[in-house]
Structure 1
């Protein structure tokens, strides 16, 4: 059986291109982050949402948070400019009103998607 790092690498190699990047692109198309907005990617896994926002030329703070150390290790290799944080969506280590846009690509937590006012 694969260890945590191997599973994270397999996730990035196979699931991200085939499935999750498609969902992430759709999410970014729907939300349409504006230049200068700060974005939080909750339960980011290997960080596909934040990385795609970065690749699209987003200007503003990008932060990804996930409780899985192995997933974050892959995310850090993929992008050194996104701020990666280890933590839970249930106990975010950020002050209120820190982010303009909060995104969660996973279907099970899609109710977290929103934009600050």
Structure 2
């Protein structure tokens, strides 16, 4: 009962221990809107400004916009999604939108690969 509900073990098979953090803005500057293979997702509770959604690709840990917290939480609660990530079947495609002040912001969507 407790193992199922309070497990803090590693869910993903990819080793991201030594990867540096970056922002989604930096990734878009370097790679445009190319689909990124997702190797891991997590919520960084030690971030400077509170809980921060993150994804891991082959070479980086990427801080995502705060509106991804619910999506990341949903992934972490679903073994099928975790298995898909561990098997290399989840991607993230950056997108842009214009906020209410007319500023172009980076966002994205999770996609099947």
- Which structure has the bigger radius of gyration? 2
TM-score by structure 2 length? Answer: 0.29
Choose between structure 1 and 2: higher helix proportion: 1
TM-score by structure 1 length? Answer: 0.29
Choose between structure 1 and 2: higher strand proportion: 2
